[in-house]
């Protein structure tokens, strides 16, 4: 069935529909992930997004439910160039899988042209529709995307991920399961809480450290969480990942800016400033921390993106606060960033809570 | 920054690269960047005519047999600061592995002695991998029959076996499924120094290769992944290859990536390393089967697939540069810390010179390859192995059509070079895909793609192309099977499908000075052109499998010359993949440059000064069009006369006057033949007069600018013309190397409207002041002599010249 991907500025990309035949609208994000479509589609970061995957021949590697990053899919639509209707491991074919998730999909799109268009014109809203008349374009323009994306994906109730090691509280801003996988691998005894869980509620859990997770949307919308960070960072070691990292920066009076070319790529180089070591890690963020505002804060830059020089990691000069904008849990992407979890646990181990807290 | 103390580098060249364009371009790119960075280079090479460069490209060319003794002699005599063995073939690594402790302070770049040795000694490779907990198949190498049989009893059948000879070469692997086959293999005669190597067969596993780069600071990046469509059991270079490896999910990809980087660390490879893997998708078993710590066919393929300049990066890493601080030349830096992303599929398909089916197996049989780009597997299949213009698939179809089912099944069980055609025919007969997958070891997604192609071809056969399916057909690459005219009515579809230009490196981008755009995904898809007049260099629609080296040489020299003469060269066609980095940036890959150039409107018509075309035949439209210059070789005259003394001369004509800048003399004495270059300098005045008269007479009707190749035989004391052709033939590399006059540049100057001086004297016509002469013995052994030595050779060996 002929369908159209329509951008809010009126640009139309025709293709063939698959999956759900519903009309859908969302923020269009072009992803250069090499693999792991099931991870990307189920990543809570994808809430409210139509994801365009530039990888060719989608689907032949198969779909593995064990790699999901949340129980259900989060994204609003899937755009691809070409797909393959059979898998190497006999698992469910890609298009059938997208259908089973009731996500609208469109294939046969000139994905290179689309990707280039977004590169040149910036991220924007888009719809997958059956027609491409002016009325459809007006509808997209008029639609306001919901601002409370984190609210949609954050856990409503706290739940444990029990183990015998370091006690962690994870503030769920759109938590990927792979963060839990990495913590479990390190025997961490974790409790996952709602994004607006109060500092008291978290303190009552008596954690050794707190992780503010990745998540979707604009960090400036999360005013309460930012306030909570201001309190908690004085009491506990803190690690921020993705959105969590941006919130830590805002809580410490650093400015946030939108990247001219957002990072949605499963393998992009970051450099550790101190050692010069280069790692390839998964990126999925549209914002970064303003370089100038770091200078007047108590933070130092620990990691930068090799390609565009944007900040990818900061650390407090004397408090045990570290944060990275990239996704150290990978999923998908190279596993070079796993060390971040080890460093955070080492940081927790190396300090005496009673000695430094004020 | 680079490690200090290295100024002079000895490059160990390939033993015989006349068929190996991959290594030649890597060698060219390597020497080019070394030159730009101010290093002095010497190359030791057996066949200087197999280099993709003119004579002055290297600081010194040593024409010798490429072996340990000659390398050691050179090192002892000239004391280079470093040896670079990674752009030679496997032989270069063998030489290096034998130099340990013999070359004093001269460093070895790119690989270690140990790594080089481990590429030959399987036991060393396996023990190192076992030590470092990398997955490897256990193996035995022994000349003791009892020991071998004990080992086989412990692992069971099937196994693979090969003989390793004392000169480090080996027979190809043989599949052995039972005791009977084993006894037959063991019964083959061999000398006592031959060892037999045996390992568990992983036949049927899927094969992948990963290429990583690593700097001396231990930063490493995965540059590309390749998947073999055929399973283990068929030689990697006889398999149809696809990049990126589409069938790896994230978990498998990261596992193989981590193994590859760990492998490079274990062997301390600073530069480039390709690791091969066998993976069983059903059981999850995975083994490292091989590693290649040098430039190779894979690296060349990935360079084109990803636009990542691997040869340039590798040699800079060898020299100690940091991955994110590399140099394009002495002024411009660029960032190599990228894991290139591909929004397209690039495939390498083996090609055989023979039109007949050939059985394929563990030993390589293919003669060359072609590389194509597309956005889907269907598209690359249709452009490559199923492209009738390349492979004569319709004839194959007719032959396979005549087989009964049992005969066809035999072809499926015993794979041949027609594998995909055989499978298409089987699918046409409704053979079950899972059965075909089980028998061939080819993964289901590829068979499903073939089924789609089969359905698609039915649409074309039934002439049912319509508005509904035309777009799908184009996406599947049906242009490659000759439906351009139908499809060209829809410009927007054509543009979408065929333009695959890619930019390799972009420095000093306005916003991000350190950003490189290796990838094509939405970044840089157009060639940036100046406002200079263009000369479009068009490669043929039908890509010949032969003489790739010659075509690439001419292409490179043409482009250089066009640019040096103040115009801008743009290459369009099928073959930009085999060009050096220097000109890959100005290449558009277009399947059918003749039909499509106008429609795609890539280059404004008014800015095109000339089109230089490599096709064997021009279209009627082109023939009428004065703008098109045909550069391919075309026979004008032929006479069947043979003789022991012959000459091949090249003539450059401006339509009125001509020069003869290079003559190759050949004489056969008994069983030996000698060829001497730049023979202009040994001709007597009467001989020059005689040749001049012959050429004048033969070209008396010519009023065209072109080069002409004359072959003459000495008969009864006089020279007799036996063959005349116009355009570039296989001798051009030799003529260019041997002549102090740049033949191709001279031709370009004439095309641009220059003329030879009227009334040139005979010495000006035969001008060639080369002082080094290339002597070839029996077409194989190349030696360089000076004038005196050559004269002595002529007087003493080649008597009565």
Q: Which of A21, B499, B140 is nearest to B149 (CA)?
A: B140
Q: Give the phi and the psi of residue A322 in degrees, each rounded to 5.
A: -130, 150
CB contact under 8 A, A84 and B475: no
Of the residues A98, A119, A142, the one at which a domain ends:
A142
Distance of CA B786 to the CA centre of its chain: 32
Q: With contacts defined as CB-CB under 8 Å, which chain A residues touch B448?
A: 84-86
Task: For residue B307, tell me if it sits in a domain.
Answer: no
Q: How far apart are CA A63 and CA B90, in angstroms?
A: 40
**One domain for residues A89 and A235:** no
User: What pLDDT, on the 0 to 100 scale, is given for residue B351?
Assistant: 87
**One domain for residues A226 and A247:** yes
Residues 6 or more apart whose Cβ sits within 8 Å of residue B797: B669, B674
Q: Give the phi and the psi of residue B789 in degrees, each rounded to 5.
A: -60, -40
Task: For residue B213, tell me if it sits in a domain.
Answer: no
Q: How far apart are CA A194 and CA A154, in angstroms?
A: 6
**One domain for residues A243 and A352:** yes
Q: Which of A59, A70, A19 is nearest to A37 (CA)?
A: A59
**One domain for residues A86 and A172:** no
Cα–Cα distances in Å, from B3 out to B42, B179, B297, B335? 19, 55, 28, 18
What average pLDDT does chain A have?
94
**One domain for residues A129 and A224:** no
CA distance A209 to chain B (A): 29
Model confidence at B500: pLDDT above 70: no
Q: In this structure, what DSSP letter does residue A67 have?
A: G
Q: How far apart are CA B173 and CA A292, in angstroms?
A: 62
Q: How far apart are CA B75 and CA B62, in angstroms?
A: 12
CB contact under 8 A, A56 and B337: no
Q: With contacts defined as CB-CB under 8 Å, which chain B residues touch A113?
A: 496, 522
Chain B interface mutation, best of A307, A327, A328, A330, highest count of B Cβ atoms under 10 Å: A307
Of the residues A127, A142, A157, the one at which a domain ends:
A142
Q: How far apart are CA A45 and CA A29, in angstroms?
A: 11
Listed as own residue / partner, the contacts of B176-185 with beta carbons closer than 8 Å and 24 or more positions apart are B176/B201, B182/B152, B182/B157, B185/B161
CB contact under 8 A, A267 and B443: no
Model confidence at B495: pLDDT above 60: no
User: What pLDDT, on the 0 to 100 scale, is given for residue B380?
Assistant: 85
Task: For residue B742, tell me if it sits in a domain.
Answer: yes
Residues A155-210: pLDDT tens digits?
999 999 999 999 999 999 999 999 999 999 999 999 999 999 999 999 999 999 99
The closest CB to that of A332, out of B250, B343, B449, belongs to B250
Of the residues A88, A111, A142, the one at which a domain ends:
A142
| DSSP run (H or E) holding B647 | strand B645-654
Residues 6 or more apart whose Cβ sits within 8 Å of residue A246: A219, A240, A256, A285, A287, A289, A325
Q: How far apart are CA B417 and CA A184, in angstroms?
A: 50
Could you tell me the pLDDT band of residue B512, with boundaries at 50, 70 and 90? very low
Residues 6 or more apart whose Cβ sits within 8 Å of residue A28: A5, A7, A49, A50, A52, A79, A118, A123, A124, A125, A126
User: What pLDDT, on the 0 to 100 scale, is given for residue B516?
Assistant: 36
CB contact under 8 A, A54 and B521: yes
Residues B256-282: pLDDT tens digits?
999 999 999 999 999 999 999 999 998
**One domain for residues B649 and B772:** yes
**One domain for residues A330 and A231:** yes
Model confidence at B510: pLDDT above 50: no
CA distance A86 to chain B (A): 5
Q: How far apart are CA B782 and CA B64, in angstroms?
A: 7
Model confidence at A353: pLDDT above 80: no
Chain A interface mutation, best of B445, B451, B498, highest count of A Cβ atoms under 10 Å: B445
Q: With contacts defined as CB-CB under 8 Å, which chain A residues touch B377?
A: 57, 82, 84
The closest CB to that of A88, out of B222, B247, B511, belongs to B247
Q: How far apart are CA A217 and CA A312, in angstroms?
A: 18
CA distance B574 to chain A (A): 20
**One domain for residues A108 and A239:** no
Task: For residue B191, tell me if it sits in a domain.
Answer: yes
**One domain for residues B638 and B616:** no
Question: How many folded domains does chain B comprise?
Answer: 5
**One domain for residues A130 and A210:** no
Could you tell me the pLDDT band of residue A343, with boundaries at 50, 70 and 90? very high
Residues 6 or more apart whose Cβ sits within 8 Å of residue B630: B613, B615, B618, B622, B727
Q: Do the beta carbons of residue B794 and residue B676 sit within 8 Å?
A: yes
Of the residues B630, B664, B694, the one at which a domain ends:
B630
Residues B369-389: pLDDT tens digits?
888 878 889 888 887 888 776
Residues A65-81: pLDDT tens digits?
999 999 988 899 999 99
Please tell me the total number of residues recorded for chain B in this structure. 801
Chain B interface mutation, best of A14, A15, A18, A57, highest count of B Cβ atoms under 10 Å: A57
Task: For residue B643, tell me if it sits in a domain.
Answer: yes
**One domain for residues B784 and B708:** yes
Residues B339-358: pLDDT tens digits?
988 888 888 999 888 889 99
Q: Which of B354, B372, B308 is nearest to B335 (CA)?
A: B308
Model confidence at B395: pLDDT above 70: yes
- What residues make up the domain containing B758? 634-796
Between B454 and A101, whose confidence is greater?
Answer: A101
Q: Do the beta carbons of residue B712 and residue B646 sit within 8 Å?
A: yes
**One domain for residues B174 and B72:** no
* HSE of B43, CA atoms in CB hemisphere, 13 A: 29
- What residues make up the domain containing A64? 2-142
Please tell me the total number of residues recorded for chain A in this structure. 358
Q: With contacts defined as CB-CB under 8 Å, which chain B residues touch A107?
A: none
Mean pLDDT across the stretch A88-105?
95
List the CATH number of the domain containing A76.
Answer: 3.50.30.20
CB contact under 8 A, B448 and A84: yes
User: What pLDDT, on the 0 to 100 scale, is given for residue B369?
Assistant: 82
Q: How far apart are CA B549 and CA B716, in angstroms?
A: 37
The closest CB to that of B514, out of A112, A265, A309, belongs to A309
Residues A238-286: pLDDT tens digits?
999 999 999 999 999 999 999 988 999 999 999 999 999 999 999 999 9
Between A126 and B641, whose confidence is greater?
Answer: A126
Residues 6 or more apart whose Cβ sits within 8 Å of residue B339: A267, A268, A269, A280, A334, B221, B222, B223
Task: For residue B362, tell me if it sits in a domain.
Answer: no
List the CATH number of the domain containing B162.
Answer: 3.30.1490
Q: Which of B154, B138, B34, B47 is nearest to B82 (CA)?
A: B34
- C-alpha torsion angle, residues B464, B469, B470, B473 (rounded to 10): -100
Preceding peptide of B244 cis, ω within 30°: yes
State the burial class of residue A9 (Cβ atoms within 10 Å of its Cβ: 0-12, 13-18, 19+). Answer: middle
SS3 assignment, position B135: coil
**One domain for residues A9 and A136:** yes
- SS3 breakdown of chain A: % helix, strand, coil, rounded to 5? 30, 30, 40
Task: For residue B714, tell me if it sits in a domain.
Answer: yes
Q: Do the beta carbons of residue A112 and residue B343 sit within 8 Å?
A: yes
CB contact under 8 A, A307 and B335: yes
CB contact under 8 A, B341 and A81: no
Q: In this structure, what DSSP letter does residue B617 have?
A: S
Residues B85-98: pLDDT tens digits?
999 888 999 999 99
**One domain for residues B696 and B791:** yes
User: What pLDDT, on the 0 to 100 scale, is given for residue B515?
Assistant: 35
Q: With contacts defined as CB-CB under 8 Å, which chain A residues touch B514?
A: 306-309
Task: For residue B726, tell me if it sits in a domain.
Answer: yes
Please calculate the CA angle A164-A168-A170 and round it to the nearest 5 degrees: 135
List the CATH number of the domain containing B656.
Answer: 3.30.470.20
**pTM, to two decimals:** 0.91
Q: How far apart are CA A59 and CA B325, in angstroms?
A: 36
Residues A16-53: pLDDT tens digits?
999 999 999 999 999 999 999 999 999 999 999 999 99
- For B69, other C-beta atoms within 10 Å of its C-beta total 11
**One domain for residues A303 and A321:** yes
Could you tell me the pLDDT band of residue B642, with boundaries at 50, 70 and 90? confident
How many contacts does A have with B, using Cβ atoms within 8 A?
A: 168
The pLDDT > 70 percentage for chain B reads: 85
Please calculate the CA angle B574-B578-B583 and round it to the nearest 5 degrees: 90
ipTM of the complex: 0.97
Q: How far apart are CA B131 and CA B114, in angstroms?
A: 15
The closest CB to that of B375, out of A36, A81, A116, belongs to A81
Could you tell me the pLDDT band of residue B590, with boundaries at 50, 70 and 90? low
Q: How far apart are CA B142 and CA B148, in angstroms?
A: 7
For A31-176, where are the alpha helices, taking DSSP H only?
37-42, 94-100, 111-121, 134-142, 149-153
Residues B11-49: pLDDT tens digits?
999 886 555 667 888 888 899 999 989 999 999 998 888
**One domain for residues A127 and A155:** no
Chain A interface mutation, best of B229, B245, B249, B512, highest count of A Cβ atoms under 10 Å: B249
**One domain for residues A50 and A176:** no
The closest CB to that of B444, out of A86, A111, A271, belongs to A86
Q: Region of B79 please: left (phi>0), alpha (psi -120 to 50) or beta.
A: left
Question: How many folded domains does chain A comprise?
Answer: 2
Which stretches of chain A are assigned E, i.e. beta strand?
2-7, 12-19, 24-31, 49-53, 77-80, 104-107, 125-129, 159-161, 167-171, 189-193, 209-212, 238-241, 256-272, 278-289, 299-305, 311-316, 321-324
SS3 assignment, position B383: helix
CA distance A73 to chain B (A): 18
Residues B243-253: pLDDT tens digits?
999 999 999 99
Q: With contacts defined as CB-CB under 8 Å, which chain A residues touch B335?
A: 269, 306-307
List the CATH number of the domain containing A278.
Answer: 3.40.50.880
Instruction: For chain A, report the end-to-end CA distance as a whole number of angstroms.
Output: 63
CA distance B750 to chain A (A): 41
**One domain for residues B671 and B769:** yes
**One domain for residues B451 and B555:** no
């Amino acid at each position: 069935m002929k369908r159209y991907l329509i951008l809010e500025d009126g640009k139309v990309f025709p293709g063939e529909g698959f999956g759900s035949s519903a009309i859908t609208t969302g923020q269009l994000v072009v992803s250069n992930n090499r693999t792991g479509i099931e991870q990307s589609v189920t990543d809570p970061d994808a809430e409210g997004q139509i994801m365009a995957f530039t990888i060719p021949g989608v689907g032949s590697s198969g779909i593995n439910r064990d790699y999901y990053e949340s129980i259900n899919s989060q994204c609003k639509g899937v755009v691809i160039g070409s797909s393959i209707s059979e898998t190497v491991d006999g698992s469910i074919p890609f298009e059938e899988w997208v259908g089973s998730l009731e996500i609208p999909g469109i294939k046969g799109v000139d994905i290179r042209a689309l990707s280039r268009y977004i590169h040149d014109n910036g991220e924007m809203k888009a719809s997958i529709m059956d027609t491409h008349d002016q009325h459809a374009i007006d509808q997209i323009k008029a639609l306001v995307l919901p601002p409370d994306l984190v609210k949609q994906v954050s856990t409503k109730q706290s739940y444990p991920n029990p183990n015998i090691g370091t006690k962690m509280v994870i503030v769920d801003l759109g938590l990927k399961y792979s963060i839990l996988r990495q913590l479990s691998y390190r025997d961490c005894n974790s409790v996952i809480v709602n994004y607006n869980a109060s500092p008291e509620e978290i303190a009552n859990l008596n954690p050794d450290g707190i992780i503010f997770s990745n998540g979707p949307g604009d960090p400036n919308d999360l005013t309460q969480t930012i306030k909570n960070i201001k309190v908690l960072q004085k009491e506990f070691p803190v690690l921020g990942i993705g959105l969590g990292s941006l919130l830590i920066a805002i809580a410490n009076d650093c400015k946030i800016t939108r990247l001219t070319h957002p990072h949605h790529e499963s393998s992009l180089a970051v450099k550790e400033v101190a050692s010069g070591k280069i790692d390839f890690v998964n990126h999925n963020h549209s914002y970064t921390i303003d370089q100038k505002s770091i200078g007047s804060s108590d933070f130092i830059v620990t990691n930068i993106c090799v390609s565009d020089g944007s900040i990818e990691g900061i650390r407090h000069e004397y408090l045990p606060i570290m944060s990275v904008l990239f996704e150290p849990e990978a999923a998908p992407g190279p596993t070079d960033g796993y060390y971040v979890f080890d460093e955070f646990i080492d940081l927790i181990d190396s300090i005496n809570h009673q000695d430094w807290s004020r | 920054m680079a490690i200090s103390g290295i100024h002079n580098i000895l490059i160990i060249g390939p033993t015989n690269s006349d068929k190996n364009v991959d290594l030649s371009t890597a060698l060219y790119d390597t020497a080019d960047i070394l030159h730009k960075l101010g290093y002095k280079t010497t190359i030791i090479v057996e066949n200087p005519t197999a280099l993709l460069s003119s004579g002055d490209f290297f600081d010194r060319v040593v024409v010798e047999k490429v072996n340990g003794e000659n390398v050691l002699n050179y090192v002892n005599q000239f004391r280079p600061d470093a040896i670079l063995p990674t752009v030679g073939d496997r032989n270069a690594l063998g030489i290096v592995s034998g130099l340990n402790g013999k070359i004093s302070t001269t460093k070895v770049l790119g690989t270690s002695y140990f790594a080089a040795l481990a590429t030959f000694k399987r036991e060393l490779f396996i023990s190192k991998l076992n030590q470092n907990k990398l997955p490897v198949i256990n193996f035995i190498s022994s000349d003791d029959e009892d020991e071998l049989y004990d080992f086989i009893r412990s692992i069971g059948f099937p196994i693979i076996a090969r003989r390793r000879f004392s000169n480090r070469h080996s027979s190809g692997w043989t599949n052995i499924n039972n005791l009977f086959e084993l006894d037959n293999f063991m019964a083959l005669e061999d000398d006592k120094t031959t060892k037999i190597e045996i390992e568990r067969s992983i036949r049927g596993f899927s094969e992948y290769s990963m290429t990583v780069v690593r700097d001396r600071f231990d930063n490493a990046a995965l540059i590309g992944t390749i998947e073999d469509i055929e399973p283990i059991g068929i030689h990697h270079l006889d398999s149809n290859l696809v990049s990126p490896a589409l069938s790896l999910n994230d978990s498998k990809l990261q596992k193989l990536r981590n193994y590859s980087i760990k492998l490079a660390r274990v062997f301390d490879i600073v530069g480039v390393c390709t690791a091969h893997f066998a993976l069983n998708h059903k059981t999850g078993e995975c083994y490292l089967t091989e590693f290649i710590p040098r430039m190779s066919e894979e690296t060349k393929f990935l360079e084109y697939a990803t636009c990542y300049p691997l040869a340039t990066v590798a040699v800079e890493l060898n020299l100690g540069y940091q991955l994110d601080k590399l140099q394009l030349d002495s002024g411009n830096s660029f960032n190599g810390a990228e894991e290139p992303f591909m929004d397209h599929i690039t495939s390498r398909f083996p090609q055989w010179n023979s039109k007949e089916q050939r059985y394929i197996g563990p030993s390589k049989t293919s003669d060359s390859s072609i590389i194509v780009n597309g956005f889907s597997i269907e598209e690359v299949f249709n452009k490559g192995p199923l492209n009738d213009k390349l492979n004569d698939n319709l004839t194959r179809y007719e032959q396979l059509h005549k087989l009964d089912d049992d005969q066809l099944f035999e072809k499926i069980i015993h794979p041949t070079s027609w594998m995909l055609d055989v499978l298409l025919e089987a699918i046409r007969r409704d053979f079950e895909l899972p059965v075909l997958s089980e028998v061939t070891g080819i993964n289901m997604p590829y068979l499903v793609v073939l089924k789609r192609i089969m359905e698609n071809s039915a649409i074309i056969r039934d002439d049912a192309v319509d508005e509904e399916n035309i777009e799908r057909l184009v996406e599947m690459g049906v242009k490659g099977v000759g439906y351009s005219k139908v499809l060209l009515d829809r410009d927007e579809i054509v543009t979408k499908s065929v333009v695959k230009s890619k930019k390799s490196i972009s420095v000093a981008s306005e916003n991000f000075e350190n950003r490189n755009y290796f990838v094509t995904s939405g970044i840089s898809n157009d060639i940036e052109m100046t406002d200079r007049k263009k000369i479009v260099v068009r490669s043929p629609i039908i890509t010949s499998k032969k003489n790739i080296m010659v075509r690439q040489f001419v292409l490179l020299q043409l482009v250089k010359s066009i640019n040096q003469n103040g115009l801008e060269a743009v290459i369009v066609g099928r073959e930009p993949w085999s060009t050096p980095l220097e000109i890959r940036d100005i290449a558009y890959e277009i399947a059918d440059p003749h039909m499509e150039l106008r429609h795609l409107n890539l280059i404004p018509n008014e800015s095109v000064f000339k089109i230089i075309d490599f096709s064997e035949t021009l279209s009627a439209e082109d023939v009428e069009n004065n703008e098109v210059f045909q550069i391919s070789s075309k026979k004008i005259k032929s006479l069947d006369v043979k003789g022991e003394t012959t000459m091949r001369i090249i003539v450059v004509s401006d339509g009125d006057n001509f020069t003869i800048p290079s003559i190759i003399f050949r004489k056969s004495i008994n069983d030996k033949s000698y060829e001497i270059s730049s023979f202009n300098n040994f001709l007597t005045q009467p001989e020059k007069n005689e040749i001049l008269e012959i050429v004048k007479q033969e070209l008396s009707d010519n009023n065209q600018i072109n080069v002409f190749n004359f072959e003459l035989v000495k008969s009864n004391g006089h020279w007799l013309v036996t063959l005349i052709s116009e355009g570039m033939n296989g001798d051009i590399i030799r003529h260019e190397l041997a002549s102090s006059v740049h033949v191709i540049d001279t031709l370009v100057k004439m095309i641009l409207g220059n003329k030879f001086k009227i009334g040139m004297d005979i010495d000006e016509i035969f001008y060639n002041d080369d002082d080094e002469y290339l002597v070839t013995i029996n077409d194989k052994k190349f030696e360089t002599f000076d004038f005196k030595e050559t004269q002595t050779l002529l007087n003493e060996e080649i008597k009565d010249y």
